[in-house]
Amino acid sequence: MTWQHLLVSLAGLLLLFAGLIGTVQPVGELTTPERIVGDPPSLPTVSPTAAPSWPRSASLNEAEQARRNGDYDGAQAVLRLLLAQADAAMANEALLQLGVVLVEDGRGPEGAEAARDLLRRQPEPAMQARATFVLGRAQRTAGDCAAAIASFSEAQRLGLDVGPYVDLQAAECYARLEDRAGQADRAAKAVAGATASQARVDAMEHLVDAALKRSDAQAALLASEPLLAAAPTREYRARTLASIANIDLRLGRRDEATQAFATVVAELPETAAAPGALEALASLDALGLVGPDQAGLVYYFRGRHADAVAALADGLSQGLGDERAARALYYQGLSLLPGLRWLSGFGRWPRSTAAPGLQPAPPRRAAGERGDRPRAGRERRSRQMERIGAALGRQGLRARGR
């Protein structure tokens, strides 16, 4: 290649580079959603501080993923791209999802305006029903429960089929308006239409709440029984049993109430409702319904280790069946761990008069003071202490067998 050919090639490259420079937009100039899409009439604007990372070929899946991740600004950016680039059907779906995102972001009035904009486009009936439901959710978020109830009813009239969820939303609005009859009516419809366990539990909670608020203890008790049967967790079961016990007390059913409290203590000692149930039994002079070892487990799970040791020892001295004795000895051993840690410089023996709850951690020591150990050493010693506690329980059980 001659030097003339080389000069021609370099000149061509320079011209090409100059042409590219003329077509490149400054960073941020045309990459924000507003500049690409433009703001649809009546919709809130999005003002990101930097260019979004979303591609121009945005999709509803990207918006949904952003929404699920709590990135509401990112979801809005994608949906605004779709509003300008997609066909009419896709744009309507994007506008509907924009309303959902705004509602979940706590921006009720703006979400309502997005839903109204969609309704003004006069979409097909199924989309009208969905948009009306989103409008109701937005109105509820904005605090206008009366308008929300009307929107929910209209969505149902338009044929929206989302199971019990419209009735659940309406029941919540009636509760806020303190309309207990309306709350109970919508809750009953939701119970009848619920197939998912959580939706059914939510609806039954509304039934109990409405009955209690209108001082109908008998109805509240009847609604609580299926709620107890559907309890999804041990914590929820304990809380429901305690609620039933209190309703029984309102109805003068002392025996049923004490039995419910005793069930919480005996079967669910680790739950947050157990200490209150134990106190209720004491106030009702019904501690005889539970054994000292069962009360001891409540103390243990609340961090009252000295009380737990004493109560578990009392229960063992009275004679227990094998299963309860093994459990009592095991937790008695674990309750002794704070004392063993105190002997080895780890902490302090908790006082029996300490308030319920976990004991506070001992204050940090200065480097070089007694008890200061590397983290790995502390964790290893803690595991050793747990094995000692378990061994104490097993040894006690063997001694009991002899």
348 lies in the same domain as 266? no
Question: Is 402 a domain residue?
Answer: yes
238 lies in the same domain as 192? no
Per DSSP, the three-state class of 286 is coil
Average pLDDT, the chain: 77
326 lies in the same domain as 392? yes
220 lies in the same domain as 242? no
Say what the pLDDT of residue 322 is. 86
Q: Looking at the whole model, is its pTM more than 0.95?
A: no
Per DSSP, the three-state class of 61 is helix
Question: Is 113 a domain residue?
Answer: yes
Question: Is 366 a domain residue?
Answer: no
263 lies in the same domain as 338? no
Structural domain span for residue 270: 234-290
61 lies in the same domain as 116? yes
Q: Could you say which of 142, 173, 196 is where a domain stops?
A: 142
Question: Is 298 a domain residue?
Answer: no
The average pLDDT across 76-95 equals 86
122 lies in the same domain as 41? yes
Question: Is 274 a domain residue?
Answer: yes
Which of these ranges, 46-50, 81-85, 163-167, has the smallest mean pLDDT? 46-50
Q: What is the distance between the alpha carbons of residues 207 and 201, in angstroms, rounded to a whole number?
A: 10
Percent of the chain with pLDDT over 70: 69
* DSSP 8-state symbol, 356: S
Question: b vs e for 164-187, b when ≥16 Cβ sit within 10 Å of the residue's Cβ?
Answer: bbbbbbbbbbbbeeebbebbbbbb
118 lies in the same domain as 62? yes
183 lies in the same domain as 259? no
Q: What band does 58 get if pLDDT is binned at 50, 70 and 90?
A: low
Say what the pLDDT of residue 363 is. 44
Q: Could you say which of 95, 111, 142 is where a domain stops?
A: 142
Question: Is 297 a domain residue?
Answer: no
Q: What is the distance between the alpha carbons of residues 22 and 34, in angstroms, rounded to a whole number?
A: 23
Say what the pLDDT of residue 29 is. 30
The token duo for 268 is 């669910």
Which residue in this structure is represented by tokens 């619920």? 194
Question: Is 348 a domain residue?
Answer: yes
Look at the alpha carbons of 171, 174, 178, 179 in this order and tell me if their dihedral is positive or negative.
negative
pLDDT tens track for 317-343: 988 888 899 999 999 888 887 655 544
Q: What band does 196 get if pLDDT is binned at 50, 70 and 90?
A: confident
CATH number for the domain that contains residue 105: 1.25.40.10
pLDDT tens track for 111-153: 999 999 999 999 999 999 999 999 999 999 999 999 999 999 9
Contact 64, 45 (CB under 8 A): no
Helix (H) or strand (E) holding 168, with range, is: helix 165-176
The total number of structural domains in the chain stands at 4
226 lies in the same domain as 208? yes
Contact 390, 334 (CB under 8 A): yes
Say what the pLDDT of residue 99 is. 95
137 lies in the same domain as 89? yes
Q: What band does 398 get if pLDDT is binned at 50, 70 and 90?
A: low
Measure CA 178 to chain center: 25
Question: Is 252 a domain residue?
Answer: yes
323 lies in the same domain as 388? yes
Per DSSP, the three-state class of 178 is coil
